[in-house]
Amino acid sequence: MEHFFLHTMVGSIILIVLKVLAVLVPLLIGVAYLTWIERKVLAAIMLRKGPNVVGPFGLLQPFADAVKMIFKETIIPAKANRVLFFIAPILGFSLSMLAWAVIPANDGWAVANLNIGILYLLAISSVSIYATLLAGWGSNSKYALLGAMRAAAQMISYELAMGLVIASVLLLVGSANLNDIVLAQRHVWFFLPMFPMFIIFFISCLAETNRPPFDFAVGESELVAGFFAEYSSMAFGLFFLAEYGNMILMSAIISILFLGGWLPPLDYVPFTWIPGPFWLIIKILICLFCFIWVRSAFPRYRYDQLMRLGWKVFLPFTLAWVVLTAGFMMATGIGIYGGAA
């Protein structure tokens, strides 16, 4: 059995497919229930009840939504660029799933344990802007184009700050492997020594996923629904899944970079009874709760304020922090060449 999976061609392909399914199936169920969680949390904050009709506590609501979405009519605008119009949602969805290949759920539990895992994530997140841009341009509509332009400008601006935050974490760890990054936090999770970076990274994640208060790309009061204004049916559904998939992905990245990934908060008995993947899930859920909380608590930013925050506040600050971290490590000799914290 072991020989078949590890040493034959067919076996290894089956093994890879199984690994991918083991990531994607829980992820898609998670995405479905994230919509339910979001509606419930928003409802609780607004003193409403939220979905409570379909199934107990409205638990079957995501499936009802999915069925509704699938049976809607697919509408293609008359002058849309058909190829790009359909490539865009597929690209967006598959990129948001592709990134999960490198996320480790436990020590060594990743589909691909890349040496440059964190750079791979950066590359994926920067390429996923194309989904937005193609959707905006391909649907040949002013609202969509404006939404796409805003989204692209915003994501590029905040990627710089994110890149620098990641650089400062990499300085401490001395490796770009996500597994190593988590293991380097055995003694102290990075959100303590790097607290400002943690906050900046969280805010940049909000901007990167186009979530409120930075949801200019879909600003419904100005742009109807922004870049996916012309989409219906499952094409819209794919954008929706991609957005929530990206939210979970960003939460996972925050957990891995700053909250110690699968590590328990203290290395003592009651905590170590809970296996690693559950710790990661708990941390992801906490981050997701913050995402939803922010959505209901803050009004939408103004566009020029968003750009100012990204370029004039975050970028210089994170750059200074990278220099500071490097200087501190040189001066004290802590963590140089991978012997972190």
Contact set with other proteins (CB under 8 A): 84, 114-116, 119-120, 122-123, 126-127, 129-130, 133-134, 136-137, 145, 148-149, 152-153, 156, 159, 176, 304-305, 308
Q: What whole-number distance in Å separates Cα of residue 240 and Cα of residue 256? A: 24
Judged by beta carbon, residue 134 or residue 183, the one nearer other proteins is 134
Query: What six digits make up the tokens of 165?
Result: 């935050």
Q: How far is the CB of 239 from other proteins (least distance, A)?
A: 18
Whether residue 36 contacts residue 59, with contact meaning beta carbons closer than 8 Å, is answered with yes
Nearer Cβ to other proteins (146/280)? 146
CB of 36 to other proteins, least distance (A): 33
Q: Which CB sits closer to other proteins, 122 or 238?
A: 122
**Nearest approach, Cβ of residue 81 and other proteins (Å):** 9
CB of 86 to other proteins, least distance (A): 14
Instruction: Pick between residue 61 and residue 157 the one whose CB is nearest to other proteins.
Output: 157
Closest distance of CB 123 from other proteins, Å: 4
CB 336 within 8 A of CB 184: no
Shorter beta-carbon distance to other proteins: residue 151 or 254: 151
- In this structure, what is the dihedral angle of CA atoms 67, 69, 71, 75, given to the nearest 10 degrees? -170
In whole angstroms, give the CA distance from residue 123 to residue 46.
38
Instruction: Give buried/exposed letters for 260-289 (b at 16+ CB in 10 A, else e).
Output: bbbbbeeeeeeeeeeebeebbbebbbebbe
Q: 145 and 134 in contact (C-beta within 8 Å)? A: no
The rounded distance, in Å, linking the Cα atoms of 211 and 217 is 9
Is the Cβ of residue 35 or residue 325 nearer to other proteins in the bound state? 325
Least spacing, CB of residue 310 vs other proteins, in Å: 14
Please give the Cα distance from 125 to 137 (Å, whole number).
19
